């Protein structure tokens, strides 16, 4: 195992690739490796990029990689795409836009599927971030479609969260308002050569300025920038904005360490405990056959799911009843 | 529940061939079969394909070529994978490929070649039988 840790910290691509696979496949052996890697993490700057399908996230990430390389940074990319709930399969196509970096030894790109795990996306993405961090990447870009609680949670675990929209998606801004909008540190209007850019800009500005009180107290005010990723326009200015946000974190939250602020660590622990608990309990129940027996009983109408859940969960946790 | 090895495959278009309809249909069939499919897009060099396959830790690389350069391109992918200590990644190919070339490619280490007329079901079945997730 120490051999594997050494390979990862030395940046061995194959070792890193295989370890991420083991994390994703939920192999219990990886826990010890992750424990050993943890002291090597905390050096990378992590940027999350999120937005609806088709807004140009992958193209933007591709340009970010190019500019970050010009700035002398090594880069890791995690591109998350949805798993089909019907077949369990996934087409991971973000790489299409980024393949020109595939021969650059200082860039590591990995596609991840959301899979079905219960809150596990947060967990496995976080572990993958840690692995790339331990591998020595200076900047890690995490790209997700910004829907669902899991993905909001992923975005809460990065240093800078970037929300990408395109002109004319007014309703879309409404849709993201509830969830992920609150975590946006930088707003990007991509494809800003298109009609409706100014209206989208006004809409976003209006929304952000509703929180003016917070900004007056010194909280970060998210800038709104126009880019045209496909033409490589505005990307450098955007990265400067990321730098400014990083400086802001430096002054107010300890910079890179902000990922380890008590709030975030608390959140991280809650996620981790949740995932682990579900895993352990479900494993126990499926192995013993209790789970299938309960399912059959409910299907036949002999049992209600509320009682079944109670009968299953408490013994699995070592108690005997809801009171126990 | 969770400890599950999923088959990960890569679908790649090497060379200058610009027709990716077939590759996309195959990718979709793989997805519907429950595989995770990394698609690289058009105009890939063997070097780019091999590097991506290693970073993505796939169990199989499926190459599609309709432009006639399959002999060189497919073999280059097999050779590079071996060179990079990743010869355990299964390589298969598809396209308009003459019988003589199929013999040559199989001898070179391409595990199977699918020609026009092969059904998606046959291809998926072959993958299930010949590709084990994580060796």
Structural domain span for residue B96: 8-128
Task: Kindly give, in sequence order, each residue whose CB lies less than 8 Å from that of residue B11, ignoring residues fewer than 6 positions away.
Answer: B23, B26, B27, B30, B37, B38, B39, B40, B62, B64
Structural domain span for residue A179: 40-258
- Global pTM reads 0.91
> What residues of chain A lie within 8 A of the CB of B86, using their CB?
14
Buried b / exposed e across A38-73, counting CB within 10 Å, b at 16+? eebbeebbbbbbbbbeebbbbbbbbbbbbebbeeeb
Query: Any CB–CB contact under 8 A between B70 and chain A?
Result: no
A29 in any annotated domain: no
Give the span between the Cα atoms of B70 and A293, in whole angstroms. 54
B3 in any annotated domain: no
Give the span between the Cα atoms of A48 and A132, in whole angstroms. 14
> Is there a contact between B47 and A279 if contact means CB atoms under 8 Å apart?
no
User: Could you tell me how far CA A257 lies from the centroid of its own chain?
Assistant: 18
Residue A302: band (very low, low, confident or very high) from pLDDT cuts 50, 70, 90: very high
* Shortest CA gap B100–chain A (Å): 32
A216 in any annotated domain: yes
Give the residues across from A140 on adjacent strands: A46, A76
Buried b / exposed e across B37-46, counting CB within 10 Å, b at 16+? bbbbbbebbb
Mean pLDDT of the region A82-93: 88
Query: How many domains does the structure of chain B reveal?
Result: 1
Average pLDDT of chain A is 88
**Within a 10 A sphere around the Cβ of B97, how many other Cβ atoms?**
22
Q: Which of B69, B66, B64, B37 is nearest to B53 (CA)?
A: B37
Residue B46's CATH number: 3.40.50.280
Tokens of residue A313, six digits: 């969960």
Give the span between the Cα atoms of A25 and B83, in whole angstroms. 27
> What residues of chain B lie within 8 A of the CB of A279, using their CB?
1-2
Tokens of residue A212, six digits: 């003016």
Q: What is the pLDDT of residue A324?
A: 42
A254 in any annotated domain: yes
DSSP A83: P
Could you report the per-residue pLDDT of A114-155, keeping only the tens digit for each? 886 555 567 888 899 999 999 999 999 999 876 666 677 777
Of all residues in chain A, the one with the smallest CA distance to B32 is A87
B135 in any annotated domain: no
> What residues of chain B lie within 8 A of the CB of A17, using their CB?
54-57
Could you report the per-residue pLDDT of B58-88, keeping only the tens digit for each? 999 999 988 888 999 999 999 999 999 999 9
Mean pLDDT of the region A108-117: 86
Residue A222's CATH number: 3.40.50.300
Could you report the per-residue pLDDT of A252-300, keeping only the tens digit for each? 877 777 777 788 788 888 888 888 888 888 888 988 999 999 999 999 9
User: Is A168 exposed, middle or buried (CB count within 10 Å of its CB: 0-12, 13-18, 19+)?
Assistant: middle
Find the CB nearest A99 among B32, B48, B57: B48
> What residues of chain B lie within 8 A of the CB of A283, using their CB?
1
Could you report the per-residue pLDDT of A183-242, keeping only the tens digit for each? 889 999 999 999 999 988 988 888 888 888 889 998 899 999 999 999 999 999 999 999
Give the whole-number percent of chain A exceeding pLDDT 70. Answer: 91
Find the CB nearest B41 among A89, A96, A111: A96
User: Could you tell me how far CA B93 lies from the centroid of its own chain?
Assistant: 5
Find the CB nearest B55 among A93, A96, A108: A108
Give the span between the Cα atoms of B17 and B15, in whole angstroms. 6
Query: How many domains does the structure of chain A reveal?
Result: 1
Length of chain B, in residues? 135
A224 in any annotated domain: yes
**Within a 10 A sphere around the Cβ of A33, how many other Cβ atoms?**
22
Of all residues in chain B, the one with the smallest CA distance to A29 is B3
A290 in any annotated domain: no
A323 in any annotated domain: no
B67 in any annotated domain: yes
Could you report the per-residue pLDDT of B7-38, keeping only the tens digit for each? 999 999 998 888 889 899 999 999 999 999 99
> Is there a contact between B39 and A95 if contact means CB atoms under 8 Å apart?
yes
Residue B1: band (very low, low, confident or very high) from pLDDT cuts 50, 70, 90: very low
Tokens of residue A25, six digits: 């496949």
Task: Kindly give, in sequence order, each residue whose CB lies less than 8 Å from that of residue B35, ignoring residues fewer than 6 positions away.
Answer: A89, B6, B7, B8, B9, B127
What is the enclosing helix (H) or strand (E) of A51? Answer: strand A45-51
Phi, psi (degrees; rounded to nearest 5) at A165: -130, 170
A4 in any annotated domain: no
What is the enclosing helix (H) or strand (E) of A212? Answer: helix A212-216
Task: Kindly give, in sequence order, each residue whose CB lies less than 8 Å from that of residue B90, ignoring residues fewer than 6 positions away.
Answer: B59, B60, B61, B111, B130, B131
User: Is A177 exposed, middle or buried (CB count within 10 Å of its CB: 0-12, 13-18, 19+)?
Assistant: exposed
> What residues of chain B lie within 8 A of the CB of A96, using their CB?
39-41
CB A101 within 8 A of CB A107: yes
Give the span between the Cα atoms of A308 and A306, in whole angstroms. 5
Give the span between the Cα atoms of B56 and B86, in whole angstroms. 12
CB A65 within 8 A of CB A103: no
Find the CB nearest A89 among B2, B33, B85: B33
């Amino acid at each position: 195992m120490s051999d594997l840790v050494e390979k990862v910290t030395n940046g061995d691509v194959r070792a890193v690739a295989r370890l991420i696979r083991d994390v994703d496949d939920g192999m219990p052996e990886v826990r010890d490796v992750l424990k050993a890697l943890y002291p090597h993490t905390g050096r990378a700057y992590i940027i999350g990029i999120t937005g609806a399908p088709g807004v140009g996230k992958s193209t933007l990430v591709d340009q970010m990689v190019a500019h970050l390389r010009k700035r002398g940074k090594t880069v890791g990319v995690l591109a998350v795409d949805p798993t089909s709930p019907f077949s369990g399969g996934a087409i991971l196509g973000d790489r299409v836009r980024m393949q020109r970096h595939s021969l650059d030894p200082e860039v590591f790109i990995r596609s991840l599927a959301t899979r079905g795990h219960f809150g596990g996306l947060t967990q496995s993405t976080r572990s993958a971030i840690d692995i790339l961090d331990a591998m020595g990447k200076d900047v890690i870009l995490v790209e997700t479609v910004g829907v669902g609680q899991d993905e909001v949670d992923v975005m809460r675990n990065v240093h800078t969260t970037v929300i990408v929209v395109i002109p004319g998606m007014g309703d879309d801004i409404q849709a993201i308002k509830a969830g992920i909008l609150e975590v946006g540190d930088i707003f990007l209007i991509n494809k800003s050569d298109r009609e409706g850019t100014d209206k989208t800009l006004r809409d976003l500005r209006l929304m952000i300025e509703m929180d003016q009180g917070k900004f007056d107290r010194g909280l970060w005010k998210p800038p709104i920038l126009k880019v045209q990723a496909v033409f490589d326009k505005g990307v450098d200015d955007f990265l400067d904005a990321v730098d400014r946000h990083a400086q802001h974190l430096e002054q107010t939250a300890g910079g890179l360490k902000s990922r380890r602020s008590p709030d975030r660590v608390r959140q991280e622990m809650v996620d981790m405990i949740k995932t682990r608990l579900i895993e352990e309990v479900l494993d126990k129940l499926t192995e013993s056959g209790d789970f299938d027996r309960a399912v059959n009983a409910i299907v036949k109408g002999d049992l209600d799911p509320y009682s079944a859940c109670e009968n299953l969960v408490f013994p699995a946790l070592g108690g005997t009843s809801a009171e126990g | 529940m969770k400890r599950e090895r999923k088959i990960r495959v890569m679908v790649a278009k090497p060379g200058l061939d610009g027709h990716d309809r077939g590759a996309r249909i195959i990718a979709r069939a793989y997805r519907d079969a429950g595989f995770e499919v990394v698609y690289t897009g058009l105009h890939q060099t063997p070097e780019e394909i091999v590097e991506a396959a290693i970073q993505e830790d796939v169990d199989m690389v499926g190459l599609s070529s309709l432009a006639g350069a399959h002999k060189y391109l497919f073999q280059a992918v097999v050779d590079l994978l071996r060179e990079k200590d990743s010869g355990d990644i299964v390589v298969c190919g598809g396209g308009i490929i003459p019988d003589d070339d199929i013999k040559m490619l199989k001898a070179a280490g391409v595990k199977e070649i699918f020609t026009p007329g092969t059904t998606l079901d046959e291809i998926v079945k072959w993958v299930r039988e010949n590709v084990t997730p994580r060796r």
